[in-house]
Every structure is written in structure tokens, then in C-alpha cells.
Amino acid sequence: MTLDLFPTYRGCMEYFCLGCGQRFPTDELHYTCPECGGVFLLDNILFDELKKTPGTKWRELFDSRAASKRTALRGIFRFYELMAPVLEEEDIIYLGEGNTPIIESSPSLNSQTGLKTAYKNDGQNPSASFKDRGMACGFSYLRSLIRQHDWDQVLTVCASTGDTSAAAALYASYVGDAIKSVVILPHGKVTPAQLAQPLGSGAIVLEVPGVFDDCMKVVEHLADNYRVALLNSKNAWRILGQESYAFECAQWFNWDLKDKCIFVPIGNAGNITAIMAGFLKLHTLDIITNLPRIFGVQSHHADPVYRYYAVDDPNEREYAPVTVSPSVAQAAMIGNPVSFPRVKYFAEKFETIGGKGSFQVIQVSEQQIMDSMIQANRNGHIACTQGGESFAGAKRALELNLVSANELCVLDSTAHQLKFVDFQNMYFDNSFPPEFEIKPDTTLSNKPTLVISPEEKDGLSDADYTRITADKVVAKLGLKKK
């Protein structure tokens, strides 16, 4: 296993339906099960071959690949054999996704919370959210299909709370003519930055009234009746790509996940599925010996997964979609998560190995989400509102005695702070519509101050302008002469 060579191992991927258990080959585009409509997982039926290599060897290989200059191995496909080992090097699209850093909270922030936290900044992906991980895998697979079938154009479609469309449009625009990207957004329910992204990438942007769940129904109708490639997280290739988050966490901590708790906001539940699946894969191959503990986090305004797991006895649990209320964790504001069956599937496996308490779901309030995001970012982080949700989840877990101060809470900031500045502004201006149920701490309010007005500047010489402005700054800050 030499550094920098493209891997020679090839697996054989099949779709595996969580509804009826049937399997389907992956040389055709499938979105959901053609037999029962269930959601798929992707299964490498030659996975057992990988068990012949000891865990230590895998760790060495992945560590050596961390220094690779080969672009196909620099992103999520550093973990090629665990990802989609059917792709050829020419299929793999690398736009700089993955390998996002884990930043430990400052001692000052930790002393405020009594927790030990760190953020994995998935907002440092190319389109500024974790969705790039899944798209890199999904689009690489599409490229391999296009190459093998000689297709001339594929139309990709997705519904989005903002970030899926930004990522899909970015990857589609890189591939060029072979792929045309259409995104369907809930009108007025994505931030200006998230709307600007697919527009800037040249995607066809269609808006519909309603919330994400309404967009999703339209998209599913299209997928059932027309030849389009759907890029929502029902698409199992995206889940596969998002497993890289787990692989990177493990590698960052030198493959030792003892006393690590991973906090993940849940929307459509694709990401938490992928993260659990990824850690389980590492465990099966002896690459890690301890599973971390996984905490899903949901807002009280969109919490169907929390409600399900809030019932302690597994036999009494009943899944029911909820009607969502406005949430600052807008990207997770989903009442009927499509990946719920996947969560159930992996949570059970997780608990079998990790024991009771290795998978849990925490509920937090909108207030706690906003306060936590503001607090994190005033202490050196770049958390989005969903990242605030992760942090709020960790604090809530401490309150409930579910974590202790000697564990490290790794918080997923699923997007970049800058995508969600409008919520920060509402916090600073105290202008949240009542349905958010958020009363900002106005002592944290932060606004720019205009030092000198354009009228005052008018007619001043350059020298006067500099002196007068500087004097005003001095007066404002109370500066002493040196």
C-alpha cells in the first residue's frame, strides 16, 4: 500500500431497501425502492474482503493518504475503500470538500459552560455546508454512470432548505454540459446567501410557496414520473459521502474515540444516519475500538425524531410527523424526515455495540439555539444556527447528566456562520417575529457606529478629514496619548 497510488481494490455496490429488504444493482439510477417506495442504503457486498486488512494497516494507509497530492484522494475519497470503491479516478470530483478542522473551545468558553467542547467546522466546505460531502460522492457516481452509459445530459433536481441546492448547483456547474441542475426552494424560507449560491452557480432556481416539506412532495412527484436524478438525501450516494464526517473525526483524534460525544442537528436525518453508519464501518474493520456517543439535537419547533426516542420503551415508540413552526435552525426545520427509517436502523446497531445511551436525541428551544450560537461566536467559533443547536444540545445534555466534564463534546457546525447572519441581525436588533419565541439578550447586541457622517466629511481636506475622524475615534475609545 504505497502512498499516493490510486487504490486498486474495487467493491460491488448494491442498493438495499430498508422497507422490503430487496437488493438492486447500482448501474441504474434509483432514488427509492421501485418495489415498495422504501429508502435505500448502499451496501458493498465485497466489504468482507476489507476485513483481511488489520485495523492498524488501515489507519496507516489513511494517515499516509493525508499527505497525498492526488486530488482524487484529498477530499472525502481519502477513505476510498469505505466510501464508493467502484469509482474510477477520472470520475471523482474534488472541489475542496472534507477535511474540515475540529477547533477546541477556548478555556474561557469552557469555563462558562462547565463542558469541554470543540466544533467541527463543516461550514468550511466549498459551498459552506456539509452537503458538499454528499454531493461530491453523488456527482462522482453520476459522472461514472454518464461515462459508462454515454448519456448526453442528466437533469438533477433537489428540494432544499438552502444548502442542498447550493451544493448541488456548485457540483453541477463544475461538471458542465453533462449535467443540468434544477433546484426547488420554499419561497422566502431560505436566507439571501443561500438563494444567491445556486443563482451564482447558474442553476435553474424554482420557488414554490410553503415549507421544505412541500417542495419535497413536488420533487418526489417528478422523480416518480420523469427521468431525473434526485439529489435529496433519500439519494443513498449522498449518505455514503457524508460518512466521511465520521472517518475524519476518528482520524483527527488519532483513531481514539473514548470519551468523545458527537452532537449533530437533525433535520431530514441524513447526516446523523451517515455519521452513525461511518463510525460503525470503522468499528467493523477494527479501525476504532470505541464508538463515540452520538447525540442528535432538535428544536422544539421541529422535533419528530426527539419525540420518537423520548419514549423509553422501544416497543411503545411510535413515529409521527409534526407540523413545524418557524425555526432559526432553518436548515433543520423538517417535520417529516425522510431518513427516519435509516436512523432507526443504525441507532439499533449503534446501541447493540455501544450500549444504552450511545445514541440519544436531545430537544432544545429556539432561545437556547440562538443564545448558544451568539455565545460560541463571541468566543472564537464560526457556528451557524444549526451549530448553535448542537451547542445548546450539549448544554442540555449536561443539565440532564447525560455527559460529564471529562468527555469532549464535538459539536457539528453544519454550515458557516455567514449563511445565517440574518438571524444574528434579528438577535441584535431584537426583531424576531413572535412565532420564533426568542427574546435576545440585548446586552450582547452589536451594531456598527458611523464615526463621521458623509455631510461632515464633505469639503474637508484630506488632512483635516483624517485628523477630525481620528479625534472622534480617540474620544469614543477614550485613548490615552503614548
Contacts with ligand PLP by CB under 6 A lie at 129, 131, 163, 233, 265-271, 331-332, 384, 386, 414-415
Smaller CB separation from ligand PLP, 57 or 217: 217
**Please, what is the minimum distance in Å from the beta carbon of residue 437 to ligand PLP?**
20
**Residue 166: which of ligand PLP, Zn ion, none does it interact with, CB under 5 to 8 A by kind?**
none
**Residue 338: which of Zn ion, ligand PLP, none does it interact with, CB under 5 to 8 A by kind?**
none
**Please, what is the minimum distance in Å from the beta carbon of residue 159 to Zn ion?**
22
Smaller CB separation from Zn ion, 32 or 367: 32
**Residue 35: which of ligand PLP, Zn ion, none does it interact with, CB under 5 to 8 A by kind?**
Zn ion
**Please, what is the minimum distance in Å from the beta carbon of residue 62 to ligand PLP?**
24
**Residue 336: which of ligand PLP, Zn ion, none does it interact with, CB under 5 to 8 A by kind?**
none
Smaller CB separation from ligand PLP, 81 or 163: 163
Q: Are 119 and 43 in contact (CB under 8 A)?
A: no
**Residue 268: which of Zn ion, ligand PLP, none does it interact with, CB under 5 to 8 A by kind?**
ligand PLP
Q: Which residues pair with residue 206 across a beta bridge?
A: 184
- Measured CA to CA, the distance from residue 405 to residue 407 in angstroms comes to 5
Packed helices 244-252 and 55-65: angle between N→C axes, nearest 10 degrees: 90
**Residue 19: which of Zn ion, ligand PLP, none does it interact with, CB under 5 to 8 A by kind?**
Zn ion
Smaller CB separation from Zn ion, 33 or 72: 33
Smaller CB separation from ligand PLP, 144 or 232: 232
**Please, what is the minimum distance in Å from the beta carbon of residue 408 to ligand PLP?**
21
Smaller CB separation from ligand PLP, 11 or 134: 134
**Residue 331: which of Zn ion, ligand PLP, none does it interact with, CB under 5 to 8 A by kind?**
ligand PLP
Smaller CB separation from ligand PLP, 50 or 166: 166
Q: Is 227 exposed, middle or buried (0-12, 13-18, 19+ CB in 10 A)?
A: exposed
**Please, what is the minimum distance in Å from the beta carbon of residue 351 to ligand PLP?**
19
**Please, what is the minimum distance in Å from the beta carbon of residue 125 to ligand PLP?**
10
Smaller CB separation from Zn ion, 31 or 77: 31
Tell me the three-class secondary structure of the chain, residue by residue.
CCCCCCCCCCCCEEEEECCCCCEEECCCCCCCCCCCCCCEEEEECCHHHHHHCCHHHHHHHHHHHCCCCCHHHCCHHHHHHHCCCCCCHHHCCCCCCCCCCEEECCHHHHHHHCCEEEEEEHHHCCCCECHHHHHHHHHHHHHHHHHHHCCCCEEEEEECCCHHHHHHHHHHHHHHHHEEEEEEEECCCCCHHHHHHHHHCCCEEEEECCCHHHHHHHHHHHHHHCCCEECCCCCHHHHHHHCHHHHHHHHHCCCCCCCEEEEEECCCCHHHHHHHHHHHHHHHCCCCCCCCEEEEEEECCCCHHHHHHHCCCHHHCCCCCCCCCCCCCHHHCCCCCCCHHHHHHHHHHHHHHHCCCCEEEEEECHHHHHHHHHHHHCCCCCECHHHHHHHHHHHHHHHCCCCCCCCEEEEEECEEHHHHHHHHHHHHHCCCCHHHCCCCCHHHCCCCCCCCCHHHHCCCCHHHHHHHHHHHHHHHHCCCCC
**Please, what is the minimum distance in Å from the beta carbon of residue 14 to ligand PLP?**
23
**Residue 17: which of Zn ion, ligand PLP, none does it interact with, CB under 5 to 8 A by kind?**
Zn ion
| Residue ranges that bind Zn ion, judged by CB under 5 A | 17, 19-20, 33, 35-36, 38
**Please, what is the minimum distance in Å from the beta carbon of residue 39 to Zn ion?**
9
**Please, what is the minimum distance in Å from the beta carbon of residue 45 to Zn ion?**
17
Smaller CB separation from Zn ion, 345 or 465: 345
- Measured CA to CA, the distance from residue 437 to residue 233 in angstroms comes to 30
**Residue 250: which of ligand PLP, Zn ion, none does it interact with, CB under 5 to 8 A by kind?**
none
Smaller CB separation from Zn ion, 20 or 473: 20
Q: Which residues pair with residue 13 across a beta bridge?
A: 44
**Residue 344: which of Zn ion, ligand PLP, none does it interact with, CB under 5 to 8 A by kind?**
none
**Please, what is the minimum distance in Å from the beta carbon of residue 14 to Zn ion?**
13
